[in-house]
Structures are given as structure tokens and as C-alpha cells.
Chain A
Amino acid sequence: MSGDKITIIEQKEVPEGIKVVCGLPDVGLVGAIAVAHIISKLKLEELAHIETDLLPPIIILEEGLPRSPIRIFGNSDLAVLSSEIAIPSGIIHSVIRSIIEWAWRKKAEKVFTLGGLPVPNRHEIDKLRIFGAASDNLMIKTLTENDVEIIKRGFLVGPQALILKYCAEKKIPAVALLAEAFYNYPDPEASSVVIQAFNRIANMNIDVSELIEKGEEVRLAMRDMMRRTQTELAKMKKSHEYDIPGYYIR
């Protein structure tokens, strides 16, 4: 394998025309927690993994056996991308490009990316709002029809930004679903809000009650991933999302 290559190895045949759901570590680990819950609730099996020399030399051990930290779980309808590690900011372009090219080869019906939108006063908010952005106008309409408020103008930084960009280039219908969330703390409540929006758009029925009930347990378990993710978010200049875009004439 060449040093800078990223390959997606399928252990099981992934069918064409599936929905791809991405939940990579980002603010509040909203996407990472959401996809972990989806994988668990739907009892999805491991279909594929990412192989590359660009990642740090890390494996995840399961029952004593080595597994790639970035994997795709799924069934005949869904392929869910999950990562056990914060993706180093220096390789995020290459990783996302490879994943979207794979989704394009698989003729993905839609790509969903789940995540958080950081809000400074998050701990004072009881009812979290859900926002969205999309790769094309048709998907913007879909978001609006499903009660997702559109981020009309603003910056998006990190995995969500690149997923939308590469999906737009490849003309794959894609949406980013982003719930108001803590920047620095794992936020399972925000994850439940993005799953509910995903349920509406993808016509699914994933129960989120357990995610709320076990919120404290999830926050305890996700502390270390959050610490590592914070470092990568700072390198990506994630705080750019707070910035007000420059003046423009309508």
C-alpha cells in the first residue's frame, strides 16, 4: 500500500443505492454519539473499514482482535460511517474525499452528515434547535419540509463542510443536520435531536429515549474522545463557525 493512499476495504458486499450516514468526531461529538446509537439500535454489522498509512498507528481491539478505528457499519439500506478516533486535521480532506468517492461509486441515494452547531450558552438552552445545509436546492427543500432551519449564510468547518462540498461536486444529494450543541463537551441530547431529524427525512423510526436516559453514562464514556477531538478542532480553526461573514451587497 502506498504511503498516502486511503482505501475502503469491504469485508462484505455493500449494495448500491444505499443511504450513507456520517457521524465523525466534531463539536460535542454529536455525530459520533448519534451514529454509535444508530449502529446499536439497528444492530448494524461491520461492512467495511478504512485502510491508510496516514492515520496514527492506532487499532481498536474488539474481543482481543484488531479493528480499524474508522469503519462502515450497515445493512441492505444504510451504510453508517463511524470513527473511534478524532481524525487528524491534516488528513481530513483526503479521508472525506475517499469516503465520498466511495459513496459515489456505490451510487449512494443520499448522504447524511450528523453533527453539532456550537452555541456559547448551550447549558442555558432547554429546547435545542436543529439547523441544516445541503448539497443542492432539492435537498434544501427537503430540509425545509422536514422542519429543519436552513443556515442561509455562515461558515462551516470540518467534516460536515467537506462532505457537503465533495457531494456537491459529485452531484450526490446530501444534507448536514446540525443541532445546537456544546463545543467542548459530549452532548447526547443534541445527538437525539439530529437523530429525530434524520428519522423524519429518511423515514426511519430510531428510538432516542435510551440516549437521553443514559446521557450521563455517554458523557463519561466520551471524555477522552472529546479531549482528542478538541485538539483537532483547534487545528482546523473550528471557531471560524462563530465568525460573521463579511459584508455583501444583496
Chain B
Amino acid sequence: MSIRRRRRSIFDILREYMEELEELTDEMFERFMEHPSWDASEKSLEPLCDVIVKTDRVIVTADLPRADPENIRISGISDDLIEITAKMKMKVNFEDLGVTHRRGEFTCFSCRVPLPVPVDVSKAKARFRKGILEVILPRKKGYEIKVE
């Protein structure tokens, strides 16, 4: 008895490939999530961050409630990685957040934000408003192609 196998079209193969890729991305994202958003030894909290890529610039925002505007530091680690640290106006401990079975206090926010495209960190500008830090980083220029 011969077994007839249906030939898979290129669309079937592409769909399966996309599904596998989506599953892998989800898994990686979930693995990335599986760490605490605090570090008791460093007394730091990881802030919520967001990265928006525009045609000429990258905008990084970070939610820094209770941060002291005078004590926010942004440093360029490389042309696609920045580090944000911010001291809090007053420390917060687990008990303040309703958690009594852990010990530790937090005095600052700290995170490294990977950027999807290279930027010129030396020309970056930042502002802090309503507890939200906004860092605007100009994108590195590439080659311009002339339209004939």
C-alpha cells in the first residue's frame, strides 16, 4: 500500500516557519521576564522603559516615580546601549509595598536599555517631567543615496 503525502506549498512552509518563530520569540520574552524587577543587594529597582525608533532619532522613556530630578544619570555604554540610574527622593522598602516576607530597601532605579539602531550618544538630550524621563538620541547617519 502506498502512502500518499500531500505536497506542502511554499505558503504552508512559510506559515509553519512563522509560527515556530513566534513561539520562540514568546519563549525568549517570557524567559527574559522571569527575573525579579528589583535587586536587594544593589538596593535598586528596574524601571519600566520604552524605546521608540523614529527616522532621525531614538526616544527612550523611563517611568521613575519618586526619582530626584537632580540625581538622574544617563551614560552611553556603546552606540546601541545606554544606562540610566536615578536616586529616589526617599527610599522604599518591601513593607511599603505591602510585602512583609522579604527584607530590603531600595534607594535608586537602575537599568541598561539596548537600542535597536546605533545612535550618537554625545548629542543626546534629556528631560524629566511628571516622573517620566525622556531621552532623545539622534540616530547615526548612514550613506545618502541620490535620487536621479
Contact = CB atoms under 8 A, between A and B. Distances in A.
Max chain A C-beta neighbours (<10 A), residue from B29, B45, B65: B65
Q: How large is the interface on B (under 10, 10 to 19, 20 to 34, 35 or more residues)?
A: 20 to 34
B97 A219 contact: no
B131 interface: yes
Contacts of A221: 97-98
Given A123-B132, A227-B37, A220 B65 contact: yes
Contacts of A220: 45, 65-66, 92, 97
Interface residues of A, number: 21
A216 B48 contact: no
A215 interface: yes
B26 A227 contact: no
A186 B61 CA distance: 13
Contact of A123 (B26, B30, B33, B129): B129
Interface in A175-189: 182-186
B108 to A, nearest CB: 13
A185 B97 contact: no
Interface of B: 26, 29-30, 33, 37, 45, 47-48, 50, 52, 61, 63, 65-66, 92, 96-98, 129-132, 134
19 contacts: A120-B52, A123-B61, A123-B130, A123-B134, A124-B129, A183-B50, A185-B50, A186-B63, A215-B65, A216-B65, A216-B66, A216-B131, A220-B97, A221-B98, A224-B37, A227-B33, A227-B37, A227-B48, A228-B33
